[in-house]
Structure 1
Amino acid sequence: MYKAYAAALGASLLASAAAHAGPTAEVIHWWTSGGESAAVKQVAQAYRAAGGTWIDTAIAGGDQSRAVTINRIVGGNPPTAAQFNTTKQFADIIEQGLLNNVDDIAAQQHWDTMLPQTVVNTIKVKGHYYAVPLNIHMQAWIWYSKAALKKAGVTKEPENINEFFAALDKLKAAGLIPLAHGGQSWQETILFSSLLANMGGREMYLQVLQHRDQRVINSPAFRNVLLAFKRLHSYIDTGSPGRNWNDATSLLIRGKAGFQIMGDWAKGEFNAANMKAGEQFGCIPGLGAQAPYLIQGDVFVFPKTNKPDAVKAQKLLASVVTQPQTQVAFSQLKGSIPMRPDVDASKMDVCAQKGIAIMKDRSRVLGITEVYLSPDQNGQLQDVLTAFWNTNMTVEKAQKSIAAALRDE
């Protein structure tokens, strides 16, 4: 479905840029919300300032964007670069030899020691780096509307799961939406991941997702995580099913909802609405001082090519993306933090400063579900969680189904 469209689109865009001087890069990405669009413009502007021509191919939705990218690569009409996340999303095209490596820039910048190990394990395969990291996102931030919490009489940030539910109850009693949520499977996986990390800590999180320990998955403690996950359903509104994540964030922006559990890309929406962190909205990186920090990020991959002009464009983009000023400018609008730890982040907001401080404690940094699970396992987990969330499935059945989904392949 995407192949014909993608091929025609890519051909027309590249033809229109043929007359321009300098390396020409067609970049496929899914940054289409207000905050995301503003952020990617920073990268485009930096690329143009470096002498390149940027061709923007924005495709709404990560699944759709990745499908177009892969179809074009396989079909022999690849873009210059494409956005993926720091997960196993691009593992197959690496295995098929369809990406150029970026070992030269990785060596120059000492990625082996500079980047978090979770990121290195994802973008380095069989000794070669295949993606250029742009930023770090934390998936399970707890955002809140200060106006909504004040109306409900919530006077302090919750520090554990019991305090969080107590705050949700106060919001419900005040006639507000306690939890803004977009009813989509990937968003429900974020809710689950947040509770698993905040209730189970580092040990249970890794036992369930990385080691897939059947004893732990079938334990009463994991059952309590699932019960808390299902309890959250009682705090969402009837408009939740199918809602986009940024529309859920808008409920906080308008003071109609209290909390949202979402990645720090949500901060880009607050920024676009001219709201200031710590003043109109707040951010909680986890429930408790040692809560795991679940990271992912955005990367650019470079499809395999030997054409000198295309390789030149790829190398220029890789250089631009890894510049400290580009990473800071992007993250300030995207809501993330720079991938490089050596940037000047003094002008970033209080939420970003919290994240940067936490990243210095490597013991708190963990990957998201897609880092530890194969695409099939992750898909099966999402299916179970969404069914449990939306139906009358019992917790016993959900627990057994997750155990089956996470058995070693």
Structure 2
Amino acid sequence: MKQHALVLRGIVAALALAGAAVAHAADAPLKATVIHWWTSGGESAAIKQFAQAYDQAGGQWVDNAIAGADQARATAINRIVGGDPPTAAQFNTSKQFHDLIDQGLLNNVDTVAAKENWSGILPESVLNQIKVNGHFYAAPVDIHMQDWFFYSKPAFAKAGIASEPKNFNELFADLDKLKAAGLIPLALGGQPWQEKITFDAIFADMDRNLYMKVYRDHDANAVNSPAFKNVLTTFKRLHNYVDPGSPGRNWNDATALVISGKAGMQIMGDWAKGEFSNANQVAGKDFGCFPGFPNSPYMVAGDAFVFPKTDNPQAVKAQQLLATVMTSPKAQAAFSEKKGSIPIRQDVDTSGFDVCAKEGMAIMKDKSRQLPNPEMLITPDVQGALQDVITNFWNKNQPVDDAQKAFANAIKS
């Protein structure tokens, strides 16, 4: 009998401990392992805004930064497929993660999207990427425009350039002036993705209708047209203005050349502003920016976080909290100020935004100027094939006719 009583007391004690453990687990912060590729100075400062906001909301952010977008995405996919998924992983706002949706490897965040009215506040080009088969599978965190022109005010002054170029003739004239002044006219990181977005910037500014025929419609006649040949020729003309150190250079190192005044100009996404801010440079004072020429299309791009499939209740709660925090007005404002992007929503405090961001937000209100970036229109495989065509044309002495044929073949693949 005594032994039976001891057993009962042991069971009661064990149950009490188990209950305490459950209660402790319920009270513990919602731990979230987040894979991303934001490792430059400006990017790191930006992602910290999300981490701090998540922790303040009752979570515990576990940062997993991996240098290089391709490497970060590959790591995330390998972990998802291998059964060790992170809580969230960064992808571009594009078709990059649609295969994961098709394979049933992502959780949706429909409840957050409904509560926050994503359908009412997000641009159509963003909605088309994150909402698939009626469900929301990613939380968009920024809107980038990938073909801004950034320039050094001191470099322009040294070269005798009084105003921003309004067309391609003026652009090339200014590049000639920068070259004559002994400066690097165009700071370019010679990596395939950078060469491709430079090409797309030229393409969109030259002929947005042709751009849509090529990327959206896969129109072979458009690719084989004299107009498209002219786009390729104009793009390759820029090669005369980059320095010998361009090949292999990281984008932020190219931005540093403009920050230091060694280079006059860079064509890059507005994430480059994070580097200027990190160097304590002020838009409109130390450097200038213009989103293409007057009335040029505003090429919409961005980043989003997906939420790998899990049935763990705490992990699901963490995913929903992440989606809520990352898209909230306060966190959006804090993040965008550091990142150089503009918020995904209009109801944020923009008092701390620079002149570039304010111009971008004003343009985004005009739907007629919004243009989806190529990765919103084509599959990752086609994007990769076209990137190979462009980088080959840029770096080799390839006839423009051959590049045109290669592009036509790649767009059909």
Is contact 1:20-1:53 (8 Å) kept?
no
Is contact 2:145-2:269 (8 Å) kept?
yes
Task: Report the 3-state secondary structure (helix = DSSP H, G, I; strand = E; otherwise coil) of the residue aligned with 1:299.
Answer: strand
Return the offset for 1:112. 2.0
Deviation readout 1:120-178 (Å, 9 max, x if unpaired): 11111111110001110100000000010100011110011111111000000111000
Task: Report the 3-state secondary structure (helix = DSSP H, G, I; strand = E; otherwise coil) of the residue aligned with 1:297.
Answer: strand
Who is 2:274 aligned against? 268
Find out whether 1:336 has 2:335 as its counterpart: no
**Aligned with residue 73 of structure 2, among 47, 58, 66:** 66
Is contact 1:179-1:259 (8 Å) kept?
yes
Deviation readout 1:263-298 (Å, 9 max, x if unpaired): 00000000000000000000011112x211111111
Deviation readout 1:308-366 (Å, 9 max, x if unpaired): 11111111111111110100100100000101122121321100000000000111111
Return the offset for 1:19. 12
Return the offset for 1:113. 2.7
Find out whether 1:181 has 2:202 as its counterpart: no
- Name the amino acid aligned to 1:344: D
**Aligned with residue 386 of structure 2, among 371, 381, 385:** 381
Unaligned runs of 5+ in 2: 1-24
Who is 1:322 aligned against? 327
Find out whether 1:223 has 2:217 as its counterpart: no
- Name the amino acid aligned to 2:34: V
Task: Report the 3-state secondary structure (helix = DSSP H, G, I; strand = E; otherwise coil) of the residue aligned with 1:48.
Answer: helix
Aligned residues: 389
Return the offset for 1:220. 1.1
Who is 1:250 aligned against? 256
Deviation readout 1:184-213 (Å, 9 max, x if unpaired): 00000111100101111x211111111121
Find out whether 1:107 has 2:114 as its counterpart: yes
TM-score (structure 2 length as normaliser): 0.93
**Aligned with residue 355 of structure 1, among 360, 373, 377:** 360
Aligned pairs (5 A) from 1:98-137 = 98-137=105-144
Task: Report the 3-state secondary structure (helix = DSSP H, G, I; strand = E; otherwise coil) of the residue aligned with 2:162.
Answer: coil
Is contact 2:96-2:379 (8 Å) kept?
no
Task: Report the 3-state secondary structure (helix = DSSP H, G, I; strand = E; otherwise coil) of the residue aligned with 1:255.
Answer: coil
Return the offset for 1:110. 2.1
- Name the amino acid aligned to 2:179: K
2: CA distance, partners of 1:310 / 1:377: 34
Deviation readout 1:227-257 (Å, 9 max, x if unpaired): 0110101100000000000000000000000
1: CA distance, partners of 2:318 / 2:119: 25
2: CA distance, partners of 1:294 / 1:203: 13
Who is 1:193 aligned against? 200
Who is 1:396 aligned against? 401
2: CA distance, partners of 1:216 / 1:131: 33
**Aligned with residue 232 of structure 1, among 229, 238, 259:** 238
Deviation readout 1:8-65 (Å, 9 max, x if unpaired): xxxxxxxxxx999210001000000000000000100001111111100000000000
Aligned pairs (5 A) from 1:150-189 = 150-189=157-196
Who is 2:212 aligned against? 206
Deviating more after overlay: 343-352 vs 263-272 = 343-352
2: CA distance, partners of 1:67 / 1:213: 31
Is contact 2:31-2:61 (8 Å) kept?
yes
Task: Report the 3-state secondary structure (helix = DSSP H, G, I; strand = E; otherwise coil) of the residue aligned with 2:304.
Answer: strand
Who is 2:8 aligned against? none
Who is 2:103 aligned against? 96
Deviation readout 1:96-128 (Å, 9 max, x if unpaired): 000000111111222223211111111111111
* 1:215–1:131 Cα change, 3 Å: same
1: CA distance, partners of 2:191 / 2:136: 32
1: CA distance, partners of 2:366 / 2:153: 29
- Name the amino acid aligned to 1:247: D
C-alpha RMSD of the superposition: 1.2
Unaligned runs of 5+ in 1: 1-17
2: CA distance, partners of 1:20 / 1:34: 34
2: CA distance, partners of 1:348 / 1:214: 42
TM-score (structure 1 length as normaliser): 0.93
Aligned pairs (5 A) from 1:9-88 = 21-88=28-95
Return the offset for 1:219. 1.2
Task: Report the 3-state secondary structure (helix = DSSP H, G, I; strand = E; otherwise coil) of the residue aligned with 2:97.
Answer: helix
2: CA distance, partners of 1:283 / 1:121: 29
- Name the amino acid aligned to 1:222: F
Q: Please tell me whether Structure 1 or Structure 2 has the larger radius of gyration of its CA atoms.
A: 2
2: CA distance, partners of 1:56 / 1:109: 25
Percent of counterpart pairs with the same letter? 63
Is contact 1:30-1:61 (8 Å) kept?
yes
